[in-house]
């Protein structure tokens, strides 16, 4: 984070940006992120007040690649013009225009500021709010559909990357952030957060568009009930993947895994089998998806939609576009519209 200091000004094409303070994230991002004030160049009253500045240390090759990938993704017109993604204001010293070696310079992205994240929003405070639930689900699925049309997939969907503003108003803003892990569909496997990985990804298959549908459902469910998926409660970091698989098997007892022939993959599934046979208390407390959904407060339309999205067979699971067109989502949208009148 030493690359930027309080009071430092970055010169962008659209606006200039004065660094206010670093933003402390959840520890899952390799980039350094700062809050900045937007300095207008023409005294316009329509200019935003705040921006997010994202950068990567020159010594962090992975973070540099992620920053470049995010910039490239925002350069796609379909993404830049979409209402479902956080807006990029400026690419400052972007990776394509630098004549300096990557170890000697740092690039910056100036991005739209929103007030909070889904991880910050207490589910209990909005559980019966049809409008906010509808907008969160719609924008997650719609962002996935935009990328799907480009044969791309966002491997970093999770609650902390769902940005929110004006939650208490009749027009909440929900946007997807952190596009540094957008890849070509079907080219990556073990990249997503553990809690968001679909069954077929744990089996060793590449992450595809319908894996992303699962990730959207998992993001929502993990927000509703933290720890229900993922490594929470795992007895040891080396057992995390096996533990995650065991959780999925508890939630979906009819899932019949078919891991690849890879020896490591086979070993992980054998470990998960041992967790199932002798479940620890944290694992034993997990019931089937249906029982878990009935045990927490949930709008019936949201419960129906989650049931529709959480299908262990990717060939039977809907795409994001199919989910948005489904009766289940349309029922939620109609109820949200009726409640807003």
- pLDDT by 10s per residue, the chain, length 341: 446 889 999 999 999 999 999 988 666 666 789 999 999 887 777 899 999 999 988 788 888 899 999 999 999 999 999 999 999 999 997 444 444 444 444 489 999 999 999 999 999 999 999 999 999 999 999 999 999 999 999 999 999 999 999 998 888 999 999 999 999 999 998 899 999 999 999 999 999 999 999 999 999 999 999 999 999 999 999 999 999 999 999 999 999 998 888 899 999 999 999 999 999 999 999 999 999 999 999 999 999 999 999 999 999 999 999 999 999 999 999 999 998 87
Task: Clarify whether residues 106 and 156 are in a common domain.
Answer: no
SS3 43: coil
Helix axes 130-148, 209-224, angle to 10 degrees: 160
Last residue of a domain, one of 112, 127, 162: 112
Task: Clarify whether residues 80 and 166 are in a common domain.
Answer: no
Task: Clarify whether residues 65 and 50 are in a common domain.
Answer: yes
Is residue 265 one of the residues assigned to a domain?
Answer: yes
Is residue 16 one of the residues assigned to a domain?
Answer: yes
Q: What is the pTM of this model?
A: 0.92
Task: Clarify whether residues 133 and 268 are in a common domain.
Answer: yes
Task: Clarify whether residues 106 and 151 are in a common domain.
Answer: no
CATH number at residue 128: 1.10.510.10
Task: Clarify whether residues 246 and 128 are in a common domain.
Answer: yes
Is residue 48 one of the residues assigned to a domain?
Answer: yes
Task: Clarify whether residues 189 and 324 are in a common domain.
Answer: yes
101 lies in which domain range?
Answer: 9-112
Task: Clarify whether residues 226 and 253 are in a common domain.
Answer: yes
Is residue 1 one of the residues assigned to a domain?
Answer: no
Q: Quickly list H helices, 75-232.
A: 77-80, 123-126, 130-148, 199-202, 209-224
326 burial (CB, 10 Å; 0-12 / 13-18 / 19+) is middle
CATH number at residue 38: 3.30.200.20
Is residue 240 one of the residues assigned to a domain?
Answer: yes
Task: Clarify whether residues 121 and 106 are in a common domain.
Answer: no
Task: Clarify whether residues 87 and 145 are in a common domain.
Answer: no
Taking the CA atoms of 146, 147, 153 and 159 in sequence, report the sign of the dihedral they define. Answer: negative
Task: Clarify whether residues 95 and 151 are in a common domain.
Answer: no
Last residue of a domain, one of 112, 132, 152: 112
Q: What is the domain count for the chain?
A: 2
For the chain, strand residue ranges (E) read 9-11, 16-22, 32-39, 50-55, 88-92, 108-112, 116-117, 152-154, 162-165, 173-176, 182-184
Q: Report whether 160 contacts 101 (CB < 8 A).
A: no
Nearest by Cα to 157 from 261, 84, 81, 67: 84
């Amino acid at each position: 984070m030493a690359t930027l200091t309080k009071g430092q000004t970055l010169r962008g094409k659209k606006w200039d940006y004065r660094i206010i303070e670093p933003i402390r994230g959840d520890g899952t991002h390799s980039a350094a992120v700062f809050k900045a004030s937007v300095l207008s160049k023409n005294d316009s009253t329509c200019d935003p007040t705040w921006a997010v500045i994202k950068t990567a240390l020159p010594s962090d090759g992975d973070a540099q690649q992620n920053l470049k990938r995010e910039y490239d993704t925002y350069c796609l017109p379909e993404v830049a013009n979409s209402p479902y993604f956080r807006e990029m204001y400026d690419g400052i010293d972007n990776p394509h225009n630098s004549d300096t070696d990557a170890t000697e310079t740092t690039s910056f992205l100036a991005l739209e500021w929103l007030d909070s994240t889904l991880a910050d929003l207490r589910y209990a405070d909005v559980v019966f709010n049809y409008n906010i639930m509808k907008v969160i689900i719609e924008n997650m699925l719609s962002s996935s559909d935009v990328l799907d049309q480009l044969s791309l997939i966002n491997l970093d969907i999770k609650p902390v990357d769902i940005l929110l503003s004006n939650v208490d108003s009749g027009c909440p803003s929900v946007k997807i952030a952190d596009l540094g892990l957008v890849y070509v569909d079907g080219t990556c496997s073990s990249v997503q957060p553990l809690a968001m990985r679909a069954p077929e990804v744990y089996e060793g298959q590449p992450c595809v568009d319908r894996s992303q549908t699962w990730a959207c459902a998992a993001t929502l469910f993990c927000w509703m009930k933290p720890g229900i998926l993922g490594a929470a409660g795992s007895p040891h970091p080396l057992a995390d993947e096996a533990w995650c698989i065991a959780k999925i098997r508890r939630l979906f007892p009819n899932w019949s895994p078919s891991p690849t022939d890879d020896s490591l993959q086979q070993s992980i599934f054998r470990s998960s089998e041992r967790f199932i046979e002798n479940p620890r208390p944290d694992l034993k407390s997990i019931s089937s998806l249906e029982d878990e959904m009935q045990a927490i407060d949930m709008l019936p339309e949201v419960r129906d939609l989650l049931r529709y999205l959480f299908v262990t067979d990717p060939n039977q699971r809907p795409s994001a576009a199919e989910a948005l067109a489904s009766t289940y989502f349309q029922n939620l949208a109609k109820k949200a519209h009726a409640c807003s009148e």
